[in-house]
Amino acid sequence: MTVSELTQNGLTALTLPDGDRSIEGVYMGDLLSWVMGNASTDNAWITIMSNLNVVAVAVLTDVSCVILAEGVELPADVKAQAEAKGVNILTSELPSYETAVKLYELLR
Amino acid sequence: MPEPLVFHFDVDGNDFTSAGTASVTVKKNLRQLGLPSEVIKKLSIAMYEGEINMVIHADGGTADVIVGESYIDIILADHGPGIPNVELAMQEGYSTATAQIHSLGFGAGMGLPNMKRYSDEMTIDTRLNEGTTVKMRIYL
Minimum-distance CB partner of A33 among B17, B23, B111: B111
Split into its structural domains, chain B has a count of: 1
- What's the confidence (pLDDT) of residue B1? 59
Q: Structurally, what CATH architecture does the domain formed by A3-107 represent?
A: 3-Layer(aba) Sandwich (3.40)
Q: Which of chain A's residues have a Cβ under 8 Å away from the Cβ of B113?
A: 37
Cβ–Cβ below 8 Å for B17 and A61: no
Q: How confident is the prediction for chain B on average, in pLDDT?
A: 93
ipTM of this complex: 0.85
Stated as kind and residue range, the H or E segment containing A13 is strand A12-15
**C-alpha distance from residue B72 to each of B64, B69, B124 (Å):** 10, 8, 17
- What's the confidence (pLDDT) of residue A82? 96
CB A88 within 8 A of CB A23: no
Ranges of chain A with pLDDT below 70: none
Minimum-distance CB partner of A53 among B20, B45, B108: B20
Phi-psi region of A99 (alpha: psi -120 to 50; beta: other; left: phi over 0): alpha
CATH number at B131 reads 3.30.565.10
Q: What's the rounded mean pLDDT across residues B22-50?
A: 93
Looking at residue A21, what DSSP letter applies? P
Q: How many CB contacts within 8 angstroms connect chain A with chain B?
A: 71
Helical axes A76-85 vs A52-61, angle rounded to 10°: 20
For residue B17, pLDDT beyond 80 = no
Shortest Cα–Cα distance, A97 to chain B (Å): 19
Cβ–Cβ contact B106 with A under 8 A: yes
Nearest to B74 by CA among B106, B114, B103: B114
Give me the residue spans of the domains in chain A: 3-107
Nearest to B57 by CA among B38, B78, B37, B42: B78
Q: Report percent pLDDT > 70 for chain B.
A: 99
Instruction: Express each pLDDT in B81-114 by its tens digit.
Output: 999 999 999 999 999 999 989 999 999 999 999 9
Q: Which of chain B's residues have a Cβ under 8 Å away from the Cβ of A33?
A: 49, 52, 106, 108-111, 114
Strands annotated E in B13-110: 60-67, 71-78
Cβ–Cβ contact B91 with A under 8 A: no
Which range marks the domain in which residue B131 is found? 5-139
